[in-house]
Structure 1
Amino acid sequence: MKKAIELIVNGQKHELLVAPNELLLNVLRDRLGLTGAKYGCGIGECGACTVLVDGKSQRGTVKTASLTDPDIVSQKPIDARWQSTASFDFAAGLYERGYGDWSTDYNNRPAKHHRRVLFVRPDVYLVADTLIPNDDKTHSYEARWHLVPTATTLDATTKSVTTTEAGQPNLAVVPLLTKGLEVSKASGVGDPLTSDWHTLLGWYPVKWKGNYKSTTVRHLRNGTGTQRFLTLLLPLRAGMANPVKSVSATGANSVTVTLTDGRTWTITVNPDAAGGIAFVETGGAGRKVTAGGDVTPTSADVAPAAPTNLVATAISPSQINLTWTDKSGNELGFKIERKNAGGAWAQIAATGANVTSYSDKGLNSNTLYTYRVHAHNAVGNGAFSNEASATTANKPPTIQLTGPANGASFMAPAEITLTATASDPDGSILKVEFFSGATRLGEDTTSPYALSWVNVAAGSYSLVAKATDSNGATATSAVVSIAVKPPAVVGNGNGLLGEYFDDMIFAMPKLCRTDATVDFAWGTGSPASVIAADTFSVQWSGQLQAQYSETYTIFTQSDDGVRLWIDGNLLVDNWTDHSPTENSATVAMVAGQKYDVRMIYYENGGGAVARLLWSSPSTPKQVVPQSQLYSSPLRTPENPSDTVNGLDYAYYQGTWDRLPDFAALTPIKTGTVSDFNLGVRARDDSFGFRFTGFVEAPSDGSYTFHTNSDDGSRLYIGSTLVVDNDGLHTMRERSGTIGLKAGKHALTAVFFEKTGGEGLSVSWSGPGIAKQLVPVKRLFRPIPANGDGLLATYFDLADLTGKTATRIDKTIDFDWGKTAPLPGFGADTYSVRWTGYLVPPVTGSYTFTARTDDGVRLWIDGTLAIDYWKLRPVAESSGVVTLNAGQRYSIRMEYYNGPSYGVAQLYWTGPGIARQIVPQKRLYSK
């Protein structure tokens, strides 16, 4: 189909119908009679030949007609195939005639040439030449650009050639695919073919006329196979510099051009012969112009297509995110519309081209919104996308646990009121729940929100309140930590033991009584009629029971001197004359646990005050109540039955600075002493003693023990450390008090001496006992009771002769009847001799009885006590001996058996000892 065109040649207008493939050169020559328009010389010298292979012209040209813009050289491609849009012109031509001289048959020329031209208004021409040889030989390929002005510059960085004709529009020729490309300028290559028509294969200002020796830009590359030339032609206003800053290859057929104003052009050429050119600009207007395939560009002359896949997603109470799919390539941007339920559509935002998402912010919570999107360009708005809806999230409520206060403390079983305030910004409060940890305590549905939590056990608790609004959103308060303490331990104490002395040195108590509390203000009087008004002293002792597991402050109020110990630790020491004065100290105690307490006090004149008080986080300052005070429980004595006066000792040698664990050491020697006597030592330095035994308290009461030693000493009653006087020092006295029931109590005293003088004395005082050395008569040691029995020698004849056998018999308690006493012996006519030692438990008269069948003799400590050496049926013989407790006595008993039965038994009776077989523990074989 022919198309009407209009040509203006030398000022004369021509209207023509031309075929799609009709060349402008033919129209000029054949239809307008312009014979000056030449085909060319065929050898590349006239200037018309601008694509050459091996120096031979490539036949075929694409022409353009000039535009009349006086400021920018701008031309419009015209070809057999072409397309024009509001944004660009695109033209392409395919020439398969090949190359060679005029005499060569066109059909045998082994190459074809394809040229594509993209004019992106108003800035740039892109010219892509593809040369495809029909063989695999190496050829020389050249593209020429004829420039009328001779004033040109060559940029070595970009390989651009720019005309620089003063006061005239100019042109920059920028090669883009520069790998292996040689760029040069030449002058006077030849004259162009035409005057007023300007071939796109060269470049001429609009005003060019007549023959003119031009400047020719030559792009030359040698290679095999398909070769491509991609050239950027930039029309420039007068005085405008080349705007290309750099060119970088991004692929075999793709480059990025960076301009001096910050814009970039990304250009891609489809490698196939019929493909198009893609041009994308970023940084400026953000244009995207594409021509591809068989000259099928994306046109800006139509409205853009509707976006698809619109999705709305609520991500918060105030924001919805939109995404969609861009289905157009020619939009200038997108418009976003929104409506509420029942409302009208309204545009809320617009985006640029190629954008596929939008965030709608500042929305109302818990609200349904509906959206649609359409693209737009210069033609107008495209169709709307699908509609998409989303509901913003519900804003959660706010809540605060207002009671109890953080860190509050309660007493078990506690009743605790929990209170909270709650509100909701877009609804109402449905309920408020209260929790202890993960345990739900209950809820309240009306304001003010509260809950009573009763019978709360002791422990630590983390409380929170949780609000739920009418839309199901929840919020949890900050954690409030509280403590519920165990209930106070209320004891059943009876008070403290008070020992009153009519002196200030605690010599002899005149009065002992149990005081319910220590809360006395005697003024100028006295505690009792037996005590003078001045110069008296008091010792209170016993135990104090804590009510809470807390740190207590213990107070004394006194006039005059006072000292206070708890569990042996001196807490208050104000042993001076003074007016009523308060002293205090702190001590950590455990609820229900009892602690030894001892308070001593003296009055030297004037008023007399003595008080014991306490306080704690749970206890207001108060006099320690009777319920928490216990007179010292009197220790129950061991009262061993087998004791004698004296002590056992173990003697050690070694060098120490403090008392060692003597029980873990091996003594040098052991023995017995009458008291705490160091005289049995083997040297005067570097030694130690461990004395053990029992001390006899004559009556129930509180006893104070003292050790005076050089160097260290300690005294224990049972396992209780009563006096601690350890360490290196000269003679020094320390004391301690313990309540004892009447009787014998286990006692251990340890002592060491390093160098210098040495000494040890142990004193006591107690009910009716002034301070004095512990009397020897009150010290006892146990009588050994670990006997192994007696050595027995058996004879097979009745006269203690013949074959013998020996063994240890635990006791003498045998009734053999008519059997032999040992294997290998006969049942009759045998005899036995038992020898060893006897240790009696108490001093006194003992009766020994031998029950035998037949004869028997018994010696105690060499004295014959029983003598019946003749045959008889079972009968008894006795003898009486006086023995001392704990003393070792030799013992020998002889026995024989005649015919018939054999019986041998030894009994005793003594002080407090009923008739019994003499026990093994009192018999020793050696």
Structure 2
Amino acid sequence: MAAIKALGLGTALVAITGCQSWQYRDIEQLPPTASIPQTSEPGKVDVWYYDAISGNYVQSLLDAAKYPDNPDEVTELTELRRATSRANNYGTLIRGFIEPPETGEYTFFVSGDDQTQFWLSDSQAPESLVQIASTMAVPLDTFNRYSSQTSPIQFLEAGKKYYFELRHKEGGWDDHFTVAWSGPGFSQQTIGSSALHTWAVEAPGAAPELTPEQAYHLGYHIGYFDAQQNLSFNKAYPPLDQDKDGLYDNWEIIFGLDPSNAADATSDTDNDLLSATDEFWARTSPIAEDTDSDGLPDGYEYAYGLDPTDPADATSDLDGDGYSALQEYQAGTDPTNLEDAPAPEEVYEAGFVGQYFTGTDFGTFVRAEENASINFNWGSGSPATDLPKDRFSIRWQGWFTPPHNDGMREYTFTTTTDDGVRLLLNGAPIINQWKNQSPTTYSATASLEAGTPVAVTMEYFEYGWGATAVLNISDTASGEVLAPASTVSRLALNSEFAESSLNDGVDDLYKLRYGLPLMQPVADSVFNSSGITVLEAYQSGLHPYTLEPVSEPQSPATSSPGETTSSTGSVTLSWTPPGTRVDGSSISLSEIDSYRINYGQDPNNLTEVISVPAGTTSTTITDLAPGLWYFTIQVIDTNGLSSEPSEPVQHTVE
């Protein structure tokens, strides 16, 4: 089972088994939440337009499938008036709150083209809404053609907010609407910004309704926060919240938010997919993507049930697949899905791997060990008790990464050996002095590209008497000798996985462990008396010299992105949560309710449906009959709005 990894937010691919893919943008086509904003803002109202609806009467708007949750355009007005023509065959809905300046009797007047209705509630509750004025087509700002244009007297209280709706339907020709009022101390005038507030789930001035448990946690959270900031705790309840956005004023001030602006409750300054409100209740920082600095963004931890204030949970293994939440995040896999695990990776450490042999030309392999550097002087002794003091050979292998920043630079490789030496870069010899000799120094230079690892192989033999083997690498221009600890790396012998540098079917770890060169083709070579090649020994789990069974790491993957690997009877789908809506506004993870997957064997009739809860980014569908299957995905938010289905992806079940 193969899958394309997610590449990260904004550039991610949504993958299914078999490496077919959904584009990330497909599930971002979630409608904007114009229908139910989260917080109310003073001084304006939202205007929602619904296009391609014929007829002159408001009832045509109310009967439309897109009404009220899916407007075609959302804009703003700072007064209840639009004087210019917009289009033909559309409807308008404005919902908001009116706040009268004085307590007393008010009269409302409506003008419009075509039908225009004004509805008012006696409170902030939409349930108490009644129509108080209406008109058919009249000239702009004409309020006296029909008696219905003037409302009965409404007694309103200063400082109290009243829910209202303006419903307008345009058929053809001119179109406009105006709502005016008169009241204590002023004559008829258009209702302006000083009296308006946008419609929202939380009405302006409404105190949040909390359960006793929520109230307790809120009080504890605020007291703890004030203590952290060395502030005097204010025991007033509800807590200080000037703009009534549910955020404690002191908290907003400390984190650079505006306690007089309710709109910032939905902001996501640190781009961790948590709104300011989410961060407040989670006790995380709205200006730090990763509050506990454990490598996991706050929104990621929130989505998967981790604690964004506890760095220890980054090491937790939620699905028992042997990989931590941090490893799964870095790999783009689902930390709650056992079947979606990170691909194994090679593990590198500083230094070389040394392969030790008896004989002067790699006769009998004895063992492999990890050496921090090549800097040995054994005198007349032996490197170890399992090797003779004379007539032995060693092959050291590692990767040198040029430390300069850009372009090409020349490096000098210097060996000092007693006796023979060969030095190879990427398999090509640059020093070849394979002979008996007293301690002798040789040098060669190579021009190397910045940051590009080069395979370094040093082969050495000792014939008799003294034994010395040294390798230094230096910057040719400066003469600086470079420390192997920072420039040379080796594949760790305890790694669980390795690729093949030569792509010859034999992985590098097998070669290092059992005395084979990395950069020389040996797959068809034979190092035993039974005629078994290296490749045959590797595939059979045998030592290439002794043919004894060995335990090997996972073989390199044979499939690559774009290839199809079939599975029988099931398919695994994975995706990345969207970060924005179609209008470019952000969507936090807490706003996602679920994902809907439709599938079937006819791409035009996907009759099978499953729902996947929020916080999940993959699912496996089983019991699929053999044949070609098609899949689409939609996002459902907590307001019930859904994205358009993604483009179908397909997979063959055998």
Structure-1-length-normalised TM-score: 0.20
Task: State the structure with more CA Rg.
Answer: 1
